[in-house]
Amino acid sequence: MSAQQRTGLTVIVLAAGGGTRMKSKTMKVLHPIGGRSMIGHVLTAAQALDPEQVVAVVGHQREAVSAHIHASFPDVVLAVQEEQHGTGHAVRMAVEAVAEQRGQAISGTVLVAYGDTPLLRGDSLREFADEHEAAQRAVSILSGIVPDPFGYGRVLRNDEGDVEAIVEEKDASPEQREVREINSGILAFDAEFLREALPRIGNDNAKGEYYLTDTIALAREDGLTVGAHPIDDVMQTEGVNDRVQLARIGAELNRRIVEGWMREGVTVVDPATTWIDADVVLGADVTILPGTQLLGATVVAEDAVIGPDTTLKDCEIGSAATVVRTQGVLAVVGAEAIVGPFSYLRPGTILGTRGKIGGFVETKNAVIGDGAKVPHLSYVGDAEIGEGTNIGAGTIFANYDGVNKHRTKVGKHARTSSNNTFVAPIEIGDGAATGAGTVVREDVPPGALAVSSGPQRNIEGWAMAKRAGTAQASAAEIALAGRRDDDQGMAES
């Protein structure tokens, strides 16, 4: 238990439903949004409270959902709802799972949330729990005041402000439909009352399910207090049921993330075309240009400029670096380095301080030293390039022999020429050089010049002989005739 752990608080996250309206092979709560799964966002919010325990109730595709949860949230208790008989039944499975796995009954306060509400924030849950506990209620409802409550369950209060009931739209009277306070479905309970009430919930309804909201009537029957806590930002409680809602909530989440970074001192030139995942970290005075996506666990240090038209996933960008029209995955770019335009940084790329990866360059599993440059039209795979070295345009690091990958090492302050091919495994020494068009198949000693091409040989009249009747041959004939005329004129003079 951590020093800040909130004892006596349990958060139950319901994630057992099938989500059939998503029409997807992927379980609804596993759909990604802002770089995390939907349930990942909710569990992150739950853990922000430092609760004594978090319980996730799984059902449909429980193997996939359980594996996903335990990969990122290993301390979460899993409860299995074999058959989905409603929210009351799901919470009962959670309570029983805690008792079985932890050897003790749930006590204190219990919050119940849903795995398809990715905008939910930990500070909102904390305020809800604090207000519930301060009021010493049996049940509290996280509610919201909305301008158009159509379709939502209405929260009905008495003259003292306590909640009398929740009435659904179809069952509400005209007067009740005028109520603008709605039920989000997120509830807080006194654990002792919850344990006693769960077995009393009936399933005498059209679906034959056990509804958790029936606990409100049970609490009122017992003479206990039921209240509601209106959340200012009602959209945090909005669930995602289909792809249309997924896109809309995803856009809203991104808007919030981008706006948050701008308030922290990041310049975003065009927020409408900028996407930033929830786990991205940005330094002060970073500038993000239009059409940029920063995904996964990407970290960008202060004063860096990213974009336009750049996608980086799980990358680390150093201070004052510039990355233009580039795609990168699992790459590291050093401070004051320059990348792009139209570069592709594949996993394992490490570019040193003030280094350069230029236009139309692809790198993979390559360490490029401080101040080293690969400026133009090259492929650098499985390589190490030393400090201050310059790689000529159109260079290919031939790392694959058809079966195995091999590595090339280029030393410090080497100068290689254009259109080289380095056939790995080879080593080019410090201060070495290569000639244009050279195919390097053997090691080059430090300070040596490697040249593989022989003397140039010109075959006169080849175009006329081999390409007779073509524009190429005609152009050659005209040029040669002009040259003969020039030579004759010079001879006569």
- Distance CA(1)–CA(258), nearest Å, equals 34
Q: Comparing C-alpha atoms, which of 106, 327, 258 is closest to residue 197?
A: 106
Residue 6: pLDDT band (50, 70, 90) is low
CATH code at 6-237 = 3.90.550.10
**pLDDT score of 436 more than 90:** yes
SS3 annotation, 173-226: CCCHHHCCEEEEEEEEEEHHHHHHHHHHCCCCCCCCCCCCCHHHHHHHHCCCCE
- Distance CA(386)–CA(379), nearest Å, equals 16
- Distance CA(2)–CA(352), nearest Å, equals 39
Contact 114, 13 (CB under 8 A): yes
Packing angle, helices 62-72 and 38-47, rounded to 10: 40
Question: Given strand 287-288, what is the order of strands in its sheet?
Answer: 267-268, 287-288, 305-306, 322-323, 338-339, 356-359, 373-376
Which residues are 33's β-sheet partners? 36
Residue 454: pLDDT band (50, 70, 90) is confident
**pLDDT score of 3 more than 50:** no
Q: What integer pLDDT is reported at residue 341 of this predicted model?
A: 98
- Work out the average pLDDT over 443-463: 92
**pLDDT score of 316 more than 70:** yes
**pLDDT score of 416 more than 50:** yes
- Distance CA(473)–CA(479), nearest Å, equals 10
- Distance CA(154)–CA(146), nearest Å, equals 11
Residue 415: pLDDT band (50, 70, 90) is very high
- Distance CA(493)–CA(490), nearest Å, equals 5
223: left (phi over 0), alpha (psi -120 to 50) or beta: left
Q: What integer pLDDT is reported at residue 383 of this predicted model?
A: 98
In a 3-state reduction of DSSP, which class is residue 309? coil
**358-371: b or e for each residue (b if 16 or more CB lie within 10 Å)?**
bbebbbbbbbbbbb
What residues does CATH 3.90.550.10 cover in the chain?
A: 6-237
Which residues are 482's β-sheet partners? none
**pLDDT score of 4 more than 70:** no
70 tagged catalytic:
no
Contact 370, 352 (CB under 8 A): yes
Tokens encoding 159: 């003259």
Q: Rounded to an integer, what is the distance from CA 431 to the centroid of its chain? A: 42
**pLDDT score of 134 more than 80:** yes
- Distance CA(19)–CA(485), nearest Å, equals 85
Contact 38, 85 (CB under 8 A): no
For 32-76, what is each residue's pLDDT tens digit?
999 999 999 999 999 999 999 999 999 999 999 999 999 999 999
Beta strands at 139-145 and 181-190: parallel, antiparallel or unpaired: antiparallel
60, 376, 406, 413: the active-site residue: 376
- Distance CA(120)–CA(34), nearest Å, equals 13
For 216-270, what is each residue's pLDDT tens digit?
999 999 999 999 999 999 999 999 999 999 999 999 999 999 999 999 999 999 9
Residue 2: pLDDT band (50, 70, 90) is very low
Residue with tokens 């206990």: 224
Residues 6+ apart with CB under 8 A from 176: 154, 156, 167
Q: What integer pLDDT is reported at residue 5 of this predicted model?
A: 58
Q: Comparing C-alpha atoms, which of 324, 295, 322, 296 is closest to residue 310?
A: 324
Q: Within a 13 Å sphere around the CA of 303, how many CA atoms are in the beta-carbon half? A: 9
| CATH ID of 265-450, from 3.40.50.300, 3.30.9.10, 3.40.50.80, 2.160.10.10 | 2.160.10.10
Residues 6+ apart with CB under 8 A from 312: 293, 294, 295, 298, 306, 323, 326, 327, 328, 329, 331
What residues does CATH 2.160.10.10 cover in the chain?
A: 265-450
Residue 485: pLDDT band (50, 70, 90) is confident
- Distance CA(417)–CA(486), nearest Å, equals 37
**pLDDT score of 476 more than 80:** yes
Residues 6+ apart with CB under 8 A from 81: 16, 57, 58, 59, 89, 90, 93
- Work out the average pLDDT over 1-28: 83
Rounded to 10 degrees, the C-alpha dihedral 371/372/375/379 comes to -150
Q: What integer pLDDT is reported at residue 453 of this predicted model?
A: 82
Percent of the chain with pLDDT over 90: 89
Residue 436: what are its φ and ψ, rounded to 5°? -60, 140
H helical segments located in 208-276: 214-221, 243-263
Query: CA–CA distance from 216 to each of 62, 230, 430 (Å)?
Result: 30, 17, 78
Task: Give the least confident one: 163-177, 240-254, 367-381.
Answer: 163-177
Residue with tokens 């057992």: 16
Question: CA-based angle 160:164:168, to the nearest 5?
Answer: 135
